[in-house]
Chains A and B, each alone.
Chain A
Amino acid sequence: MLDTSTLLQVTWIVMLLLILTGLYQRMQLKIWILVIKIRLNTIKNTFEEDKLRVRNMLQNMGLSKPSLLLSRLLDFFVIEPVSVEPTDIIKRMDHLLRVAESSVKQLIERMLPSSIGKHERSLIESAISIVAAIGLIYKILRHYIILGEREENYLIIMQLVYLMPQILKVVKIYHEALNAFMYGKPIGDGVGPLVAYMLAEKCNIISKRVIDETSVVEAIYESRRLFIVKAEGPGSNVGHPGAVISKIVEELNGNVSLILTIDAAIKLEGEVSGSISEGVGAAIGDPGPEKIAIERVAAKYNIPLRALVIKMDLKEALTTMKKNIYQSCEIVLNHIDTIIRESTPEGSTIIVAGIGNTMGIPG
């Protein structure tokens, strides 16, 4: 019989051998690969479940072969413009983004029965893009796990295992966001358009028009001429607020006293959800073309560019709007009122833009 001290000695020798021969690392690698594969399977199940939900949604809308549409759109991609030569990159990027947007819209419109309205089509478009995002995450992860396992690359696997909790969290958020997009509920990101809608309700409206999927309301507020810009609702749409603001300012020959943008912003951990911050600049989170359009026109005519942001986390931004965020809209309206009174004289012209997805919010 072995006594305790001999057992301990054998254990230490085995451990030492494992460390010296590198077997410990190989064992660790195998455990990590197993952990990643289990989590990857969770992502795959989420992807398949959401794909099925969208497929059923399409079938309910009268599409006989939803797989055909899904197979074309789930792998749809946009190639980034050349950036080593940055001349006119914004123009090229804007062109590519608009072509991508119109291509997807046309494809959905062509394949769906004509009885399906613009509103429903926009919901389908967004729902498919969410499923596509989950699918892309799954495929990228699967690529790296296969690569890491085949090459026995400790670094790739280690990074994956440490990033997995965050990636899973994002996938879960997308999965939850699908519910809002399937039923057309306002999401947290829609706080900008909601504020714009509420502001328009408080004004004496002179005219309404839609330019480039973006609604423009001309109104009188506190003896000032107001142009309220937001994406055209109530479908899932972000519009083209940058291009439209630029157009309005050009139409007015630069006679604008203030451009104020209102948008949702991702909060830092520890910050209170629904809290409001005030600043300078264009509060808009597009890839570039819309934001630069606002900045350029403001700089060209020396127009003050002010911003109000409503803080929330990613989950709150992409899922159904939380009650506290909805309630913060009234406070934002008070902030707008203060900024307008403080920075502009009576009789001046102001542009107020509510930036974000206007799903469930009309106008």
Chain B
Amino acid sequence: MFIFFLALLLYMLLSNYFKKREDTSSTTKELLVCPNCNYSVEVDFEPGDFIGLIKGQCPRCSSKMRIKGIYSV
């Protein structure tokens, strides 16, 4: 009886320990796209930025790049 309870307790503790833990760490990225040559790059989000904002220059054709998307990864 005692061994049964001990085994049960052990099982409960272990199942709780190995339970899939949620990954809470995430960073917000911005997808910058060049409307001229379609070059795209993912950069870190900066406060005040929004989708559609003109930001930075394209390293390929020197056109102004636009924020196409903001998302967390």
Contacts and interface: CB of A to CB of B under 8 A. Distances in A.
A323 B72 contact: yes
Q: Which range holds the interface residue count of chain B? A: 10 to 19
Contacts of A361: 50-52
Given A320-B26, A320-B28, A186 B71 contact: yes
A360 B71 contact: no
Looking at chain B's contact residues, the main secondary structure is: loop
A319 interface: yes
A183 B45 contact: yes
B43 to A, nearest CB: 14
Interface string B48-67: 11111100000000000000
Given A320-B26, A320-B28, A184 B48 contact: yes
A325 B51 contact: no
A325 B48 contact: no
B51 A322 contact: no
Contacts of B71: 186, 320-323, 325-326
Interface string A165-186: 0000000000010000001111
A197 interface: yes
A183 B72 contact: no
A361 B71 CA distance: 12
B72 A362 contact: no
Contacts of B73: 323
Interface string A313-333: 000000111110110000000
Interface string A198-237: 0000000000000000000000000000000000011000
B59 to A, nearest CB: 23
29 contacts: A176-B24, A183-B45, A183-B47, A183-B48, A185-B45, A185-B70, A185-B72, A186-B50, A186-B71, A197-B51, A233-B50, A234-B50, A320-B70, A320-B72, A321-B70, A321-B72, A322-B71, A322-B72, A323-B29, A323-B71, A325-B71, A326-B71, A360-B70, A361-B51, A361-B52, A362-B50, A362-B51, A362-B53, A363-B52
Interface of B: 24, 26, 28-29, 45, 47-53, 69-73
